[in-house]
Amino acid sequence: MSEDINSGAIDAGSASGRQFRYYDFVMAAFVAILLLSNVIGASKLAVIEIGASEFVFGAGILFFPIGYVIGDVLTEVYGFARARRVIWTGFAALIFMVFMSWLVVAMPPADSWDGQAAYEQVFGQVWRIVAASITAFWAGEFVNSFVMAKMKLWTRGKHLWTRTIGSTIVGQGVDSMIFYPLAFLGVWETGAVIMVMFTNWGLKVLWEVILTPVTYAAVGWLKKREGVDIFDEDTNFSPFHVNL
């Protein structure tokens, strides 16, 4: 794997106000994956049988690693401040989704429609799940982006794989340790919550390792076309700092 593209290296402050061609598309992909992971994957437990052993995991594992790869790409290419904007956009989208889910479930069903029970089963815990997801997402993504940006400074923009994997270990660890207990403790058996929490954490990190070539390709492609390689030398890393 080739090292990072540093020909357009600039400080984050120098890129303030600059327009990028693909930033909005990356933001849209990030938010779409975030919402899909909560609607489709968050509530289902799946199992993999390996010999005599069974490994239980949440189906959201299919979505979350992609979101973290996109998050890594955002911070690596566009810097922490723009990644922060995307995280807050995803936060707002989650709140809107939970409100609309509650509204649709609460609407009286037509007499000719018999799907209300199934609908409530799928979306009935959406308040708890999304509250846990919002908290875990917010904390995990900001930790991931912070570690990613800081490690880029420490490595001087080299060895991209060390910071994508390192930030995922920390960020996904925070995410999993917040989300699963808040969302499912008391709903699932405690042992299942603990197993899924650690299994998913490990699988997410493994996914990041497997997807490292994809991350390299996406980062290289975007840096080349955007003509930048942003370093967060003087960035304010507060999640609540007003963006660009």
Return d(Cα 2, Cα 146) in angstroms, integer.
24
Asked if the model's pLDDT at residue 76 lies above 50, the reply is yes
- Residue 188 banded pLDDT, cuts 50, 70, 90: confident
CB within 8 A of 188, min separation 6: which ones?
Answer: 45, 196
- Residue 3 banded pLDDT, cuts 50, 70, 90: very low
Torsion angle of C-alpha atoms 233, 237, 241, 244, degrees rounded to 10: 40
pLDDT, residue 57, reads 66
Asked if the model's pLDDT at residue 5 lies above 70, the reply is no
Asked if the model's pLDDT at residue 181 lies above 80, the reply is yes
Of 73-77, 94-98, 127-131, 225-229, the least confident: 127-131
Q: Provide the 8-state DSSP code for 57.
A: E
Domains of the chain and CATH, by start:
9-231 (1.10.1760)
Asked if the model's pLDDT at residue 244 lies above 90, the reply is no
Burial 44-69 (b: 16+ CB within 10 A, else e): eeeeeeeeeeeeebbebbbbbbbbbb
For 214-243, the pLDDT digits (tens) are 999 999 999 999 988 889 988 889 998 876
Judge whether 220 and 165 are in contact, CB under 8 Å: no
Asked if the model's pLDDT at residue 74 lies above 70, the reply is yes
Residue 12 identity: A
Asked if the model's pLDDT at residue 172 lies above 60, the reply is yes
Return d(Cα 188, Cα 181) in angstroms, integer.
10
112-123 average pLDDT score: 82
Return d(Cα 168, Cα 160) in angstroms, integer.
12
36-42 average pLDDT score: 72
Query: Considering the chain, what is the average pLDDT of its residues?
Result: 84
For 11-26, the pLDDT digits (tens) are 555 556 677 899 999 9
More confident residue, 170 or 244: 170
- Residue 88 banded pLDDT, cuts 50, 70, 90: very high
Asked if the model's pLDDT at residue 64 lies above 50, the reply is yes
pLDDT, residue 2, reads 41
